[in-house]
């Protein structure tokens, strides 16, 4: 007899996945982050790390299979009436989803949340999976291989499996172990390099050194796993000596690894992150947008290999994605054009970028647009209207306030 308990149609979903994984099934391999000390990251602070048992993860995979089997039998998700069809489906299974929407228990809500996520995945062809949370490679390789094999056996449609991984963990894995993960289906590792400068890495409590970045990244690439390397302009702060060195050392790491993709994530000092308190105390001085644009330019000029180059996160002034060989000159033209503007015109460009290109809308949708931020933005707008010599400084303050609320 087929089970119809809500818990048999429910999966555990963690708090986040990276940009570009909107079509992916989120499969939680572990809970939170095994390191969880980086000053710039607030995501898992105050939460305990735990590796999920292999059988527990496999039960989630089986639950996804049950949901898919039911949906494939009863719902046509390709007719353009998916929402109405799903609502009918929910009401036809009160034993799983409750008497929606009036008589729904907590367990029913978990099943409903899982259904929404899985149904969306199916509409994209059930092809991509992202392994949550912060460092899926922390699971013992043999256990992760067992999970991957069960996943691929359960869903032959899957062609891409991705995860976050730490440089230190990659470096601790043997090439044989990494090749085993590749053979079992792991396609991509997203690795937070952030900086190649040991002094910056130590201050930010990154828990990895330059040599581990290089060694771990090279192992991933030699194993045939694609690597996306995340780097962070601005991470050295407003420091005339450390900032250029941070970029030069970071580029050296990238050129040694030659990752499949480089992803730019310019620094945002988030209110919820430990770095915010160091900024408030004066221990860390925030870079301005002009500095981070210059650091991006230094990166672009010194990368000596082709890759996919991506700047889609909203903390970046310029956004693009594509082959580096094709985007390099265009990006440099954009930057040169920006840097040739007067201070007032740069201020106008920046304020428009962060007010009207979606960042502020996200802050408002999170319920984090407060009176203080509103006043800061209004002050920046007023200074621009009056052509104040302080306009760029006021705009920078407003942008800092917007970014401090979170990262879309």
351 and 328 belong to one structural domain: no
160 occurs within a structural domain: no
Q: What is the mean pLDDT of residues 46-61?
A: 96
373 and 325 belong to one structural domain: no
23 and 101 belong to one structural domain: yes
Cα–Cα dist 326/307, whole Å: 10
154 occurs within a structural domain: no
Q: Give the pLDDT confidence score for residue 399 in this predicted structure.
A: 98
pLDDT digits (tens, 9 = 90+) for 275-292: 999 999 999 999 999 999
Reported as half-sphere exposure (CB side, CA atoms, 13 A), residue 117 has a value of: 26
Highest mean pLDDT among 9-23, 85-99, 316-330: 316-330
155 occurs within a structural domain: no
Which of 340, 366, 393 is the last residue in one of the domains? 340
Query: With 60 as the cut, is the pLDDT of residue 340 above it?
Result: yes
State the CB neighbour count (10 A cutoff) for residue 197.
25
19-50 per-residue burial string, b: 16 or more CB within 10 A, e: under 16? ebbebbbbbbbbbbbbbbebbbbbbbeeeebe
CATH number, residue 172:
3.20.20.70
Q: Give the pLDDT confidence score for residue 1 in this predicted structure.
A: 46
Q: What is the mean pLDDT of residues 304-320?
A: 97
Query: With 70 as the cut, is the pLDDT of residue 80 above it?
Result: no
159 occurs within a structural domain: no
Q: Give the pLDDT confidence score for residue 76 in this predicted structure.
A: 76
State the CB neighbour count (10 A cutoff) for residue 371.
7
269 and 211 belong to one structural domain: yes
Q: What is the mean pLDDT of residues 155-162?
A: 98
68 occurs within a structural domain: yes
Q: What is the mean pLDDT of residues 352-367?
A: 97
243 and 290 belong to one structural domain: yes
Query: With 80 as the cut, is the pLDDT of residue 81 above it?
Result: no
Which of 99, 116, 149 is the last residue in one of the domains? 149
Query: With 90 as the cut, is the pLDDT of residue 84 above it?
Result: no
Report strand pairing: 160-165 vs 188-194: parallel
Query: With 70 as the cut, is the pLDDT of residue 2 above it?
Result: no
Q: Give the pLDDT confidence score for residue 239 in this predicted structure.
A: 80
Q: Give the pLDDT confidence score for residue 82 in this predicted structure.
A: 67
161 occurs within a structural domain: no
330 occurs within a structural domain: yes
Residue range of the domain that includes 54: 1-149
178 and 288 belong to one structural domain: yes
231 and 311 belong to one structural domain: yes
Which of 301, 316, 340 is the last residue in one of the domains? 340
Q: Give the pLDDT confidence score for residue 324 in this predicted structure.
A: 98
244 and 126 belong to one structural domain: no
67 and 104 belong to one structural domain: yes
189 and 325 belong to one structural domain: yes
380 and 372 Cβ atoms separated by less than 8 Å = no
Q: Give the pLDDT confidence score for residue 83 in this predicted structure.
A: 77
Can you tell me which residue has the tokens 């996945």? 17
| Tokens encoding 59 | 């039960």
pTM of the model: 0.93
Can you tell me which residue has the tokens 């993860």? 57
Q: For the chain, what is the domain count? A: 3
What's the burial of 263, exposed, middle or buried (CB within 10 Å: 0-12/13-18/19+)?
buried
Three-class DSSP labels, the chain? CCCCCHHHHCCCCCCCCCCCCCCEEEEECEECCCCCCCCCCCCCCCCCCEECCHHHHHHHHHHHHHHHHHHHHHCCCCCCCHHHHHHHHHHCCHHHHCECCCECCHHHHHHHHHHHHHHHHHHCCCCEEEEECCCHHHCCHHHHHHHHHHHHHHCCCCCEEEEEECHHHHHHCCHHHHHHHHHHCCCEEEEEEECCCHHHHHHCCCCCCHHHHHHHHHHHHHCCCEEEEEECCCCCCCCCCHHHHHHHHHHHHHHHHCCCEEEECCCCCCCCCHHHHHHHHCCCCCCCHHHHHHHHHHHHHHCCCCCEEECCCCCCCCCCEEEHHHHHHHHHHHHHHHHCCCHHHHHHHHHHHHHHCCHHHHHHHCCCCCHHHHHHHHHHHHHHHCCCCCHHHHHHHHHHHHHCCCCC
14 and 46 belong to one structural domain: yes
325 and 358 belong to one structural domain: no
Query: With 90 as the cut, is the pLDDT of residue 383 above it?
Result: yes
194 occurs within a structural domain: yes
Q: Give the pLDDT confidence score for residue 248 in this predicted structure.
A: 98
Query: With 90 as the cut, is the pLDDT of residue 19 above it?
Result: no
Query: With 90 as the cut, is the pLDDT of residue 75 above it?
Result: no
């Amino acid at each position: 007899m087929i089970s119809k308990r809500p818990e048999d149609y429910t999966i555990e979903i963690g708090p986040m996945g990276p940009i570009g994984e909107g079509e992916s099934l989120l499969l939680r391999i572990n809970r939170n982050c095994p390191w969880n000390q980086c000053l710039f990251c607030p995501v898992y602070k105050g939460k305990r790390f735990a590796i999920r048992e292999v059988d527990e993860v496999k039960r989630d995979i089986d639950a996804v299979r049950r949901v898919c089997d039911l949906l494939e039998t009863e719902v046509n998700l390709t007719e353009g009436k998916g929402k109405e069809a799903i609502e009918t489906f929910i009401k036809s299974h009160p034993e799983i989803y409750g008497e929606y929407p009036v008589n729904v228990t907590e367990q029913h809500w978990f099943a409903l949340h899982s259904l929404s996520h899985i149904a969306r995945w199916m509409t994209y062809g059930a092809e991509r999976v992202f392994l949550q949370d912060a460092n899926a490679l922390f699971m013992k390789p043999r256990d992760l291989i067992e999970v991957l094999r069960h996943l691929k056996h359960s869903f032959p449609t899957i062609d891409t499996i991705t995860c976050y991984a730490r440089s230190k963990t990659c470096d601790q894995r043997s090439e044989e172990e990494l090749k085993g993960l590749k053979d079992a289906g792991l396609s991509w590792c997203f690795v937070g390099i952030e900086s190649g400068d040991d002094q910056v890495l130590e201050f930010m409590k990154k828990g990895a050194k330059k040599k581990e970045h290089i060694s771990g990244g090279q192992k991933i690439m030699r194993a045939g796993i694609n690597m996306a390397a995340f780097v962070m302009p601005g991470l050295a702060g407003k420091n005339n000596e450390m900032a250029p060195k941070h970029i030069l050392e970071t580029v050296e790491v990238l050129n040694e690894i030659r990752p499949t993709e480089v992803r730019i994530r310019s620094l945002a000092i988030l209110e919820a992150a430990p770095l915010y308190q160091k900024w408030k105390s004066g221990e860390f001085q925030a870079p301005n947008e002009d500095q981070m644009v210059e650091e991006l330019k230094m990166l672009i000029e010194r990368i000596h290999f082709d890759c996919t180059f991506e700047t889609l996160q909203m903390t970046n002034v310029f956004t693009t994605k594509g082959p580096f060989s094709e985007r390099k000159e265009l990006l440099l033209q954009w930057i040169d054009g920006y840097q040739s503007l007067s201070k007032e015109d740069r201020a106008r460009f920046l304020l428009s970028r962060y007010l009207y290109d979606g960042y502020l809308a996200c802050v408002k949708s999170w319920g984090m647009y407060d009176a203080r931020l509103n006043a800061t933005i209004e002050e920046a707008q007023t200074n621009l209207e009056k052509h104040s010599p302080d306009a760029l400084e006021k705009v920078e303050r407003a942008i800092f306030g917007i970014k401090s609320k979170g990262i879309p």
